[in-house]
Structure 1
Amino acid sequence: MTTEKTVEEASNKRTGNAKDVGAVVNAIQILRHLANAEGPEGATAIARATGISPSTTFNILRTLSNEALTSFDNETKTYRLGLGLSELAVSFIGRSYADLIQPELERLSTSHSILITLWQVTDDAHIRVIAVSAPAVAHVNVAVGSRLPELVGAAGRCIASLRNLPEDELRRRLTRVRWETPPSFEEYQRDARDALEQGWAIDQDHLYRGVSMVASAITDHDRQPRFVISGIGISAQHDREKLEQIGASLHETARFISRSLFPQTGPTE
């Protein structure tokens, strides 16, 4: 069960803030719960599901209903999402995924002083850069529109881990990938297994000498890769420990975006 404390800690971990406003965090948690609920629910059931105290849950629901963000049924004493949410959401209609994700890319780039790119996984087994955020320090340049085979680099290891390809198919596809310093098949396979477990992968000097990459995949309802967020930097500026820290941060953000763009109806990790 999610508690008020753990919800707030999770939000702080992603944003880097010292402390978020508890009432706002709780209100968002209640709205997310109602968005995934099978039907209208009473205040007691909502409090039990979210781990927020009943009195706090009731007060938040009353406020949300006053603002039309939730709707209260007086007969059944239950709540559901309200029409007022459409007023907030209307500004997002017509915006691309790249536009929606761009603020997260900028936050990551600023926090870690590394170039952050958003790759779209295409239908022809490639990845294509659709958004970039560059740090103020010296960095590697990557142009929007750049394309690479989907199994290449750190992004490729993340994708391979989710594709779960048979070994012979993985070997065949990797023979078509060009690396400046190719990893062994066993090393690549091990990295892909690690990526599945930890949620991110690293490529140091394999795709391009002197360039290090770290990546995490944004997945859809079926846990298939739709986008990949990657950090790309000059190897001399980012040691292994720093890359691992960036990887964990990318994974937190990728999970957040996955939940936001492709919400699950069943239990989540």
Structure 2
Amino acid sequence: MTERKQRSPRPDKELAKAVEASKAPAISRAAAVLRLLGKSHAPLGLQAIARELGLVPSTCLYVLRALVAEEFVAFDADTKRYSLEAGVLTLARDWLTRNRFNDLAQPMLDRMSRSFEVTMLGVHIVGLDHIVVVASSQSGNNFQLSTQIGSRFPALISATGRCIAAFGGHSDEELESRFRTLRWDEPPSFDEWRAQVEQTRRQGFAIDAGNYIAGVTVLAAPVWKTRARMSHALVAIGIGGALQRNGLPALQKELAGAARGLSEQLGGVA
């Protein structure tokens, strides 16, 4: 996956919708505040945070004070603005130290990135809601397609989405409903996309040849942590023409093989 800010829904609107629909509003509000501050390039004031998330300022202040007390958010008394505090790193570090996927996947990502001059990602799958980038490796070329650790994308987008649709056991009605909300540079029809999903199921990996981002080819292969659940995916991203020159079939074979080997190491089945 790569960032496409000019075409993606505004993160603040997505967070506001999540807060509104939540059955645990206090938790959802706190999570929304943390995500908003994490995406912001500069500290934000109370009114700006409340406005972006559709919260009553007094409610927003209550959430912010609780997060400050827990050392997840920092408050600058001079500017009256809020930003993420180092406490969030503790949670991230603890999660990463217990997550075998990253330790096992990183050498594979580094090797394929160097061999095929592509950007490699490891993504964590959160049902049909979204995927999260948890590992990455870049080839070091001057022109790179990249994204940041922690970036979130709609679950069914690009090649990873085809894997989720192929192996997730979801109904056509559920998939079509989610598919209609996706944004592509060169959007396939649902029937075309469903045929590609079937091809993914047969061959064991997915390819997005310029649908998500024009001129960019994305490959993805599923990683299984248990026999019943696809938990992650390995993703390769490169310029379409360059991938053809650097051996696309060989990359497909190595990506699929790495995903199978990783699934075996994690205790799942490929």
| TM-score interval for Structure 1 and Structure 2 normalised by the shorter chain | 0.5 to 0.7
CA 1:223–1:207 in structure 2 vs 1: closer, same or farther (change >3 Å)?
Answer: same
Aligned residue for 1:179?
Answer: 184
Aligned residue for 1:7?
Answer: none
Matches within 5 A, 1:11-50: none
Amino acid at match of 2:116: H
Amino acid at match of 1:143: Q
CA 1:157–1:244 in structure 2 vs 1: closer, same or farther (change >3 Å)?
Answer: farther
Unaligned runs of 5+ in 1: 1-91
The alpha carbon displacement at 1:154 in A equals 0.5
1:159 aligns with 2:164: yes
Q: Is the 8 A contact 1:218 1:254 kept in 2?
A: yes
Secondary structure of the 2:188 match is coil
CA 1:240–1:181 in structure 2 vs 1: closer, same or farther (change >3 Å)?
Answer: farther
The alpha carbon displacement at 1:241 in A equals 9.1
1:118 aligns with 2:122: yes
1:201 aligns with 2:200: no
Amino acid at match of 1:187: E
Aligned residue for 2:101?
Answer: 97
The alpha carbon displacement at 1:234 in A equals 1.5
Aligned residue for 1:146?
Answer: 151
Mapped to 1, the partners of 2:194 and 2:246 lie a distance apart of: 21
Mapped to 1, the partners of 2:124 and 2:153 lie a distance apart of: 11
Residue of 133, 146, 159 corresponding to 2:137:
133
Q: Deviations over 1:18-41 (max 9, x none)?
A: xxxxxxxxxxxxxxxxxxxxxxxx
Q: Deviations over 1:140-164 (max 9, x none)?
A: 1221111111111001101110013
Mapped to 2, the partners of 1:161 and 1:240 lie a distance apart of: 28
Secondary structure of the 1:231 match is strand
1:253 aligns with 2:258: yes
Q: Is the 8 A contact 1:139 1:234 kept in 2?
A: no
Max Rg structure: 1
Percent identity of equivalent pairs? 30
Q: Deviations over 1:106-144 (max 9, x none)?
A: 111112111110000025621111110100323212211
The alpha carbon displacement at 1:252 in A equals 0.3
Q: Deviations over 1:197-233 (max 9, x none)?
A: 1111110111111211011010132342100101001
Unaligned runs of 5+ in 2: 1-95
Q: Is the 8 A contact 1:120 1:128 kept in 2?
A: yes
Mapped to 2, the partners of 1:192 and 1:147 lie a distance apart of: 22
1:214 aligns with 2:235: no
TM-score by length of 1: 0.60
Amino acid at match of 2:223: I
Q: Is the 8 A contact 1:219 1:258 kept in 2?
A: yes
Q: Is the 8 A contact 2:104 2:262 kept in 1?
A: no
